[in-house]
Structure 1
Amino acid sequence: MNGAARWWLLSDLHLGVSDDDPRRPGAALPGFLRREVLAGAGTQRHVVFVGDTFELVGLAEDESLARLESILIQHLDTFRALDACAARGVQLHFVCGNHDVELARPSVAAHLSALLSPLEPTRVQVHPWFLHVPHVLVAEHGHQHHALHRIPEVLRSAINGTDQLNLPPLAAWNADPSSSRLSRAGAVARSCLASELAERRIREPEYDEMLQSESLRLALDEAALRDLARLSRFRTVSALPRAATRMVLAAAGHRIAGEVGPAAARRFARTLEEHGSGVAWYVSGHTHRALESALEGCTTRYINTGTWCSDVRGRGPDQLDHRSFPYALVDVDSNGAASGGLRYWRADGGSAAA
């Protein structure tokens, strides 16, 4: 990257076709974009949505296109603010999460670009797996390290344009809540088998070719990308009992949060370092726990951007104050040095460090 740049990263807005979340993330986001992003000048500006921006899970291609339009119509002020960002030179990045993995489909990604930046679609970029800024940061949603949400062949749809993304166990269970428990359990079992087979396929030459194509886009060594793809693995023997526990708790009106955090982040960051591609920051979402910490055994720092929806699971100020929204800020100076950290933004205009 040449020149100074500023990166704002946030995740887990879970924008849907309704606006009934008590924290109303879709109503808060336009103010953030206008006061924090559009008010800045003099640097390259990037806004990164680190997954689960939209509720699109389990939809066919045509349904995804229609749902995306419906969401943006429901959150019209957000749509206008994003459009204004793109029109004023801000680069918009959307990393796919487990709730909006359908963005990985080329047709859906192209439709999002056309909606938000019709005059210059390249202002909007979709990253099916993760975003890589050499020596500065990587940003991935984090679900690929959580067996209940992992989609091993995430690149297949993005590169081949296919509609073959297998629903992970929890998504398979929730795909049709109106069906019987027996039917849903059967869907989970089929999902587990499909995930096991997918784990085998990502170790075959055909998937290596997809990794080679993605490595060029990411400006990352192919061997490093291959190791990252195999860093975590779905295993039915461990995933199925955890999925069953989640199902029982959900039926009783309870839920538990999956632990996807520094352990996976440390493995990811150390793998990059081993290939000479270390970064200053590793950023993820998914757990809904806003957090910043050091990573043991490497120089990379970890940031989880938490969530802007009401399902907050961390212990930060956003747990107690529904007007406080977490995000990561990373500044890169003209020499390539990066600084920043976890921040909290308030809808009344306040902005403070974690």
Structure 2
Amino acid sequence: MSRAARWVLLSDLHLDVSDDDPRHPGRVLPEFIGREVRPAPGPQQHVVFNGDTFELAGLAEGESLARLGSILSGHPDTFQALKSCAASGVQLHFVCGNHDVELARPAVAARLSALLAPNDSTRVHVHPWFLHVPSVLVAEHGHLHHALHRIPEVLRTGVNGTDELDLPPLAAWHADPAKSRLSRAGAVARACLASERAERRVRGLAYDELLQNESLRLTLDGTAVRELARLSRFRTVSALPLTATRMLLAATGRRVNGGKAPASAARFTRILETHGSPVAWYISAHTHRALESALETSPTRYVNTGTWSSDIRGDGPDQSDRKAFPYALINVADDGATSGGLRYWRPTDAG
């Protein structure tokens, strides 16, 4: 059986009910799919949306279902392009980010599948934590390594009727801008306490059962999965100063700089290597900084797929040319060898 495959990965479209973003990601995505996702016959095609595809953050299950339908209805060309992909045999993958963690709820995931692949639900895959393709790649959004956006118990979404999610500190600050700074500061403090409690539960036996089930889905060693779940940890003593810094920078119109792979990426790949599951590529997102680089002490190549929204924070060509949209392309040959990396795509009207 041929191992040849073609993986196209992009992230942080932040599609909402309207298309108000100046870069109009929902408007240009159909052309990208038409030009870059090749129809059969040929290698198996996969399109991966590596988190923050939709704006669903903080919504209850019923609200998430309604919002998801409204978003896709508000972008009819994108909706049709994705349906056509699934109908032609393309595998669509949605990795959950901090803005669309609600996709991990079984009812919301089922709704997405029913909308995009009504005749074959196996064409749509939702990954609550990360996507693992043995020997080839792992793709995770990256917010779980960022204390201000970390949701420790990501695998508990939708389990045993769980509906409400604890907001991470930065999300708690932004949840209700109409409230006073004092009230929002109190919400941040409560979010910190909730995150500390969640971190303790992640290290308990009950969560270990969820991790064991996830290890089977990911086809990874159970010990490796537990170590990955505990790789990063929320700590109030370090998170509060970081939150304050982010608030101050936002108030003055500045941003945190960063132009290299995060240390968590190297630690993640080292755990995989230790347990006999190395991969050629580690694909991340979340920072809105498109980047490709080597990882320290690891042969794995790091790629951050940046953002298709106008909130670009990197120094790449998409900063100077707003018609340059970043994505990752990973080709897999019949013998398992991989090639590819970070790419930039431009719509036809951009020349």
TM-score tier, shorter chain, comes to over 0.9
State how far apart, in whole Å, the 2-side matches of 1:257 and 1:100 are.
25
Is the CA contact (8 Å cut-off) linking 1:105 and 1:161 kept in structure 2?
Answer: no
2:141 paired with 1:141: yes
The one-letter code of the counterpart of 1:82 is L
User: What residue identity is the alignment partner of 2:14?
Assistant: H
Which residue identity does 2:335 align to in structure 1?
A: N
Aligned to 2:340: 340
**Aligned mates of 2:80, 2:287 — CA distance in 1:** 29
Relative to structure 2, which stretch is displaced further, 174-183 or 243-252? 243-252
2:60 is aligned to 60
Q: Helix, strand or coil: the match of 2:115?
A: helix
- Residue type at the aligned position of 1:57: A
The equivalent residue for 1:187 is 187
* CA shift for structure 1 position 255: 4.1
- How many residues of Structure 1 are paired with residues of Structure 2 in the alignment? 351
* Deviation larger for 312-321 or 256-265: 256-265
User: Which residue matches 1:201?
Assistant: 201
* In 1: Cα distance, 2:350 partner to 2:47 partner: 19
Q: In terms of mean alpha carbon deviation, does 36-45 or 11-20 score higher?
A: 36-45
Where do 1:1-354 residues align within 5 Å?
A: 2-39=2-39, 41-256=41-256, 261-348=261-348
C-alpha contact (below 8 Å) 1:145/1:260 kept by paired residues: no
Cα distance in 1, alignment partners of residues 347 and 258 from structure 2: 29
How far residue 350 of structure 1 moved from its aligned partner, in angstroms, is 8.5
* Aligned-partner residue type, residue 237 of structure 2: V
Report the Cα offset of residue 275 of structure 1.
0.6
Question: In 2, are the aligned partners of 1:45 and 1:91 still within 8 Å (CA)?
Answer: yes
Gaps of 5+ in 1: none
Could you list the per-position Cα deviations for residues 152-189 of structure 1 after superposition, in whole angstroms to 9, with x for gaps in the alignment? Answer: 10001155452142110011111111112111111111
Would you say the 8 A contact 1:146–1:260 is kept in 2? Answer: no
Q: CA deviation at 1:64?
A: 0.5
Deviation of 1:139 after TM superposition, in Å, equals 0.1
Specify the SS of the correspondent of 1:166. coil
TM-score by length of 1: 0.95
Check 1:228–1:259 CA distance in 2 against 1; reply closer, same or farther (3 A cut).
Answer: farther
In 1, Cα distance between equivalents of 2:11 and 2:113: 19
Task: Give distance in 2, aligned partners of 1:30 and 1:170.
Answer: 32
TM value normalised by structure 2: 0.96
Shift of 1:335: 1.4
Residue 136 of structure 1 and its aligned partner are, at CA, apart by 0.4
Q: Could you say what secondary structure the match of 2:348 adopts? A: coil
Looking at structure 2, the residues matched to 247 and 260 of structure 1 have their Cα atoms a distance apart, in angstroms, of 23
Consecutive unaligned residues in structure 2, runs of 5 or more: none
Letter in 1 for 2:321: D
Quote the RMSD (CA, aligned, Å): 1.8
CA distance in 2 between partners of 1:5 and 1:149 (Å): 33
- Equivalent position SS for 2:265: helix
